[in-house]
A and B are shown apart, each in its own frame.
Chain A
Amino acid sequence: MQLDSWQAKIKWIVISLLLGFIVLNYWSYNPETTNHFPSCPFKLITGYKCAGCGSQRAIHHLLHLNIGRSFKSNPLLIISLPYILMGIYLDLKKNPSPKILQFRKSLYGTTAIFLILTIIIGFWIIRNICDL
Protein backbone atom coordinates (compact mmCIF):
# COMPACT_ATOMS: atom_id res chain seq x y z
CA MET A 1 0.00 0.00 0.00
CA GLN A 2 2.74 2.38 1.09
CA LEU A 3 4.92 1.32 -1.82
CA ASP A 4 2.06 1.78 -4.27
CA SER A 5 1.47 5.37 -3.23
CA TRP A 6 5.20 6.09 -3.58
CA GLN A 7 5.27 4.57 -7.01
CA ALA A 8 2.29 6.64 -8.02
CA LYS A 9 3.96 9.79 -6.71
CA ILE A 10 7.20 9.09 -8.57
CA LYS A 11 5.25 8.32 -11.71
CA TRP A 12 3.46 11.67 -11.53
CA ILE A 13 6.68 13.56 -10.83
CA VAL A 14 8.38 11.96 -13.85
CA ILE A 15 5.37 12.62 -16.08
CA SER A 16 5.08 16.27 -15.05
CA LEU A 17 8.84 16.84 -15.44
CA LEU A 18 8.71 15.33 -18.91
CA LEU A 19 5.65 17.36 -19.83
CA GLY A 20 7.29 20.53 -18.53
CA PHE A 21 10.40 19.81 -20.57
CA ILE A 22 8.31 19.21 -23.70
CA VAL A 23 6.29 22.41 -23.23
CA LEU A 24 9.47 24.43 -22.62
CA ASN A 25 11.04 22.90 -25.73
CA TYR A 26 8.07 23.76 -27.92
CA TRP A 27 7.82 27.20 -26.41
CA SER A 28 11.48 28.12 -26.91
CA TYR A 29 12.16 26.67 -30.34
CA ASN A 30 10.25 27.04 -33.58
CA PRO A 31 10.06 23.71 -35.43
CA GLU A 32 10.10 25.67 -38.71
CA THR A 33 13.56 27.12 -38.15
CA THR A 34 15.30 24.54 -35.94
CA ASN A 35 15.88 20.95 -36.90
CA HIS A 36 15.94 19.08 -33.60
CA PHE A 37 12.26 18.17 -33.93
CA PRO A 38 11.30 14.82 -35.46
CA SER A 39 9.58 15.12 -38.84
CA CYS A 40 6.67 13.11 -40.16
CA PRO A 41 7.76 9.71 -41.53
CA PHE A 42 4.76 9.64 -43.88
CA LYS A 43 5.75 12.95 -45.44
CA LEU A 44 9.39 11.89 -45.59
CA ILE A 45 8.54 8.74 -47.55
CA THR A 46 5.62 9.81 -49.75
CA GLY A 47 6.05 13.57 -49.95
CA TYR A 48 2.39 14.00 -48.99
CA LYS A 49 1.20 15.56 -45.76
CA CYS A 50 -0.66 13.46 -43.21
CA ALA A 51 -3.54 14.74 -41.10
CA GLY A 52 -1.16 15.44 -38.21
CA CYS A 53 1.52 17.33 -40.15
CA GLY A 54 2.12 20.79 -38.75
CA SER A 55 1.03 19.84 -35.23
CA GLN A 56 4.43 20.68 -33.77
CA ARG A 57 4.44 24.13 -35.39
CA ALA A 58 0.83 24.57 -34.31
CA ILE A 59 1.80 23.87 -30.70
CA HIS A 60 4.72 26.29 -30.88
CA HIS A 61 2.42 29.08 -32.11
CA LEU A 62 -0.32 28.10 -29.68
CA LEU A 63 2.08 28.38 -26.73
CA HIS A 64 2.83 31.90 -27.96
CA LEU A 65 -0.94 32.50 -28.11
CA ASN A 66 -0.72 33.07 -31.84
CA ILE A 67 -3.95 31.31 -32.80
CA GLY A 68 -3.89 32.52 -36.41
CA ARG A 69 -0.50 31.06 -37.31
CA SER A 70 -1.31 27.97 -35.27
CA PHE A 71 -4.47 27.52 -37.34
CA LYS A 72 -2.46 27.87 -40.53
CA SER A 73 -0.01 25.17 -39.41
CA ASN A 74 -2.68 22.60 -38.60
CA PRO A 75 -6.33 23.73 -38.65
CA LEU A 76 -7.55 20.32 -37.48
CA LEU A 77 -5.59 20.58 -34.23
CA ILE A 78 -7.10 23.95 -33.33
CA ILE A 79 -10.60 22.84 -34.28
CA SER A 80 -10.36 19.64 -32.27
CA LEU A 81 -8.82 21.24 -29.17
CA PRO A 82 -12.13 22.25 -27.48
CA TYR A 83 -13.57 18.84 -28.33
CA ILE A 84 -10.55 17.06 -26.82
CA LEU A 85 -10.70 19.14 -23.62
CA MET A 86 -14.45 18.50 -23.31
CA GLY A 87 -13.84 14.76 -23.85
CA ILE A 88 -11.20 14.67 -21.10
CA TYR A 89 -13.61 16.41 -18.74
CA LEU A 90 -16.43 13.96 -19.53
CA ASP A 91 -14.07 11.00 -19.04
CA LEU A 92 -12.85 12.21 -15.66
CA LYS A 93 -16.16 13.43 -14.21
CA LYS A 94 -17.24 11.20 -11.35
CA ASN A 95 -20.87 10.03 -11.07
CA PRO A 96 -22.11 11.73 -14.23
CA SER A 97 -25.80 12.66 -14.20
CA PRO A 98 -28.18 11.19 -16.85
CA LYS A 99 -28.18 14.59 -18.55
CA ILE A 100 -24.40 14.58 -18.90
CA LEU A 101 -24.48 10.97 -20.12
CA GLN A 102 -27.03 11.91 -22.77
CA PHE A 103 -24.85 14.86 -23.81
CA ARG A 104 -21.84 12.56 -23.93
CA LYS A 105 -23.72 9.99 -25.99
CA SER A 106 -24.73 12.53 -28.62
CA LEU A 107 -21.34 14.25 -28.93
CA TYR A 108 -19.01 11.29 -28.32
CA GLY A 109 -21.21 8.36 -29.42
CA THR A 110 -20.96 6.07 -32.43
CA THR A 111 -22.28 8.54 -35.01
CA ALA A 112 -20.03 11.29 -33.73
CA ILE A 113 -16.99 9.03 -33.85
CA PHE A 114 -17.65 8.05 -37.46
CA LEU A 115 -18.11 11.72 -38.29
CA ILE A 116 -14.70 12.41 -36.72
CA LEU A 117 -13.14 9.66 -38.81
CA THR A 118 -14.67 11.18 -41.95
CA ILE A 119 -13.38 14.63 -40.98
CA ILE A 120 -9.84 13.36 -40.33
CA ILE A 121 -9.62 11.37 -43.57
CA GLY A 122 -11.35 14.14 -45.56
CA PHE A 123 -8.93 16.70 -44.14
CA TRP A 124 -6.02 14.40 -44.95
CA ILE A 125 -7.04 14.26 -48.63
CA ILE A 126 -8.13 17.88 -49.02
CA ARG A 127 -5.01 19.36 -47.44
CA ASN A 128 -2.88 17.62 -50.07
CA ILE A 129 -5.05 18.91 -52.92
CA CYS A 130 -5.52 22.48 -51.69
CA ASP A 131 -2.16 22.80 -49.91
CA LEU A 132 -3.66 23.51 -46.49
Chain B
Amino acid sequence: MENQPMNQRPPKTWLVESILVTLFCCLPFGIAGIVNAAKVESRFYAKDVEGAQRASSEAGKWTKIGFFIGIAGIAIYFILMILGVAAGFLAS
Protein backbone atom coordinates (compact mmCIF):
# COMPACT_ATOMS: atom_id res chain seq x y z
CA MET B 1 0.00 0.00 0.00
CA GLU B 2 1.42 3.34 -1.04
CA ASN B 3 1.59 5.96 1.65
CA GLN B 4 0.66 9.46 0.59
CA PRO B 5 2.08 11.68 3.27
CA MET B 6 1.31 14.84 1.30
CA ASN B 7 -2.38 14.57 2.16
CA GLN B 8 -1.75 13.97 5.83
CA ARG B 9 -0.45 15.83 8.78
CA PRO B 10 3.03 14.76 9.91
CA PRO B 11 3.27 13.02 13.30
CA LYS B 12 3.14 15.33 16.30
CA THR B 13 6.23 17.55 16.14
CA TRP B 14 5.94 19.02 19.67
CA LEU B 15 7.13 22.32 18.19
CA VAL B 16 4.76 24.57 20.12
CA GLU B 17 5.38 22.70 23.36
CA SER B 18 9.14 22.87 22.79
CA ILE B 19 9.02 26.63 22.25
CA LEU B 20 7.03 27.04 25.46
CA VAL B 21 9.51 24.87 27.37
CA THR B 22 12.36 26.94 25.91
CA LEU B 23 10.78 30.19 27.08
CA PHE B 24 9.52 29.04 30.48
CA CYS B 25 11.45 26.11 31.90
CA CYS B 26 14.76 25.03 30.58
CA LEU B 27 16.26 26.19 27.38
CA PRO B 28 18.53 23.18 26.55
CA PHE B 29 15.71 20.62 26.60
CA GLY B 30 13.43 22.94 24.66
CA ILE B 31 16.09 23.31 21.98
CA ALA B 32 16.55 19.52 21.82
CA GLY B 33 12.79 19.32 21.26
CA ILE B 34 12.86 21.94 18.50
CA VAL B 35 15.71 20.17 16.67
CA ASN B 36 13.72 16.93 16.76
CA ALA B 37 10.63 18.76 15.53
CA ALA B 38 12.64 19.77 12.46
CA LYS B 39 13.65 16.13 11.98
CA VAL B 40 10.01 15.04 12.11
CA GLU B 41 9.11 17.48 9.35
CA SER B 42 12.04 16.76 7.05
CA ARG B 43 11.73 12.96 7.36
CA PHE B 44 7.97 13.02 6.89
CA TYR B 45 8.16 15.02 3.68
CA ALA B 46 11.03 12.80 2.48
CA LYS B 47 8.46 9.96 2.79
CA ASP B 48 10.31 8.40 5.73
CA VAL B 49 7.20 8.03 7.86
CA GLU B 50 8.78 5.59 10.28
CA GLY B 51 11.78 7.86 10.86
CA ALA B 52 9.43 10.77 11.38
CA GLN B 53 7.58 8.78 14.03
CA ARG B 54 10.84 8.03 15.80
CA ALA B 55 11.83 11.72 15.75
CA SER B 56 8.36 12.57 17.03
CA SER B 57 8.69 10.37 20.10
CA GLU B 58 12.22 11.71 20.62
CA ALA B 59 10.91 15.29 20.46
CA GLY B 60 8.14 14.38 22.90
CA LYS B 61 10.66 12.84 25.26
CA TRP B 62 12.86 15.94 25.46
CA THR B 63 9.91 18.28 25.75
CA LYS B 64 8.44 16.26 28.62
CA ILE B 65 11.82 16.01 30.38
CA GLY B 66 12.17 19.79 30.15
CA PHE B 67 8.60 20.31 31.34
CA PHE B 68 8.92 18.04 34.35
CA ILE B 69 12.32 19.42 35.35
CA GLY B 70 10.74 22.88 35.23
CA ILE B 71 7.80 21.72 37.37
CA ALA B 72 10.14 19.94 39.81
CA GLY B 73 12.31 23.04 40.05
CA ILE B 74 9.30 25.20 40.89
CA ALA B 75 8.05 22.64 43.44
CA ILE B 76 11.46 22.48 45.14
CA TYR B 77 11.59 26.27 45.15
CA PHE B 78 8.20 26.44 46.86
CA ILE B 79 9.11 23.79 49.44
CA LEU B 80 12.34 25.62 50.29
CA MET B 81 10.46 28.90 50.55
CA ILE B 82 7.83 27.44 52.88
CA LEU B 83 10.62 25.89 55.00
CA GLY B 84 12.32 29.27 55.06
CA VAL B 85 9.16 31.01 56.19
CA ALA B 86 8.59 28.34 58.85
CA ALA B 87 12.18 28.70 60.05
CA GLY B 88 11.69 32.45 60.22
CA PHE B 89 8.63 32.01 62.40
CA LEU B 90 10.43 29.57 64.71
CA ALA B 91 13.43 31.88 65.06
CA SER B 92 11.39 34.96 65.89
Contacts and interface: CB of A to CB of B under 8 A. Distances in A.
Interface of B: 6-9, 12-13, 15-16, 19-20, 22-27, 31, 34-35, 37-38, 41-42, 45, 73-74, 77-78, 81
Given A51-B22, A84-B20, A98-B7, A113 B27 contact: no
A125 interface: no
11 contacts: A38-B74, A51-B22, A52-B27, A80-B19, A84-B19, A96-B9, A101-B8, A104-B9, A108-B15, A116-B34, A124-B27
B9 A101 contact: yes
Contacts of B27: 42, 50-52, 124
B15 A113 contact: yes
Chain A contact residues, majority secondary structure: helix
Contact of A80 (B13, B23, B37, B81): B23
A55 interface: yes
Interface of A: 36, 38, 41-42, 50-52, 55, 74, 76-77, 80, 83-84, 87-88, 91, 96, 98, 101, 104-105, 108-110, 113-114, 116-117, 120-121, 124
